[in-house]
Structure 1
């Protein structure tokens, strides 16, 4: 049996040319690439993706998210791994959301250069390189946002069969 996870390379990963080293880390941990996308992010896409954070943090986060992501490129990547815990394993490999608090050996711990403290002082989103789905429900929602309908249908059916 295999399980799936969605990661999204954020603009700072693309701009600092860290996509290849990040993908290499996943491959070294027995993940396989199933599909790679590339999106120029619209206001609607990023606000839908971060709707739960906008709801929690309010209008200031909404403005910061638009500034940080809208009009920039992001790369959604569907990964698979043998076993039932691709999401948990990917999140462990990715590290804490705040790169300054991420453990050494994680992607954000080794490659991240920003912190929530710096981002808060500068009233911007933290540059933390990568997004990683946190549940199968989030994975399905995010696949629908970031990929074409036929890709979503293919992977949604695989994920639902596995659940």
Structure 2
């Protein structure tokens, strides 16, 4: 049985030109790359993606997301892996949301150069290279959002 995960390369990963390096890390951990997309982010897309966080953190986070992502490019990628733990394994490889707290051996720990502390001080989003779906439900929601997919194939997470 295969399971699936969705990652999104954020603008800082694209600007740092480390996409191939990051993708190879997933391949080295027995993930297969199923689909790669490319989107220029508009306000509706990013606010829909971060709606749950905006609801939690409020208007200041909403404004940061708009300022930090609208008009920039992002690259959503569907990954698969044998077994039932693709999301858990992808998140473990990605590392902690705060790159400064992410251990070496993770993508954010090895390539991240930002911290939540610095981002909060500068009133901006933390540059942490990559987003990773955190549950089967968020995978399916994000799949539809980032790939405009209604029924591409049956995904199990």
TM range (shorter): over 0.9
State the alpha-carbon separation in 2 of the partners of residues 153 and 125 from structure 1.
Answer: 32
Q: Where does structure 2 lack aligned partners over 5 or more consecutive residues?
A: none
Give the equivalent residue in structure 1 for 2:69. 69
Give the equivalent residue in structure 2 for 1:125. 125
Q: Give matches, 1:2-151, under 5 Å.
A: 2-149=2-149
Q: How many residues align?
A: 157
State the alpha-carbon separation in 1 of the partners of residues 30 and 17 from structure 2.
Answer: 22
Q: Where does structure 1 lack aligned partners over 5 or more consecutive residues?
A: none
TM-score, normalisation: structure 1: 0.94
TM-score, normalisation: structure 2: 0.98
State the alpha-carbon separation in 2 of the partners of residues 72 and 131 from structure 1.
Answer: 15
CA RMSD of aligned residues (A): 0.9
Look up the SS of the partner of 1:30 in the other structure: coil
Bigger helix fraction: 1
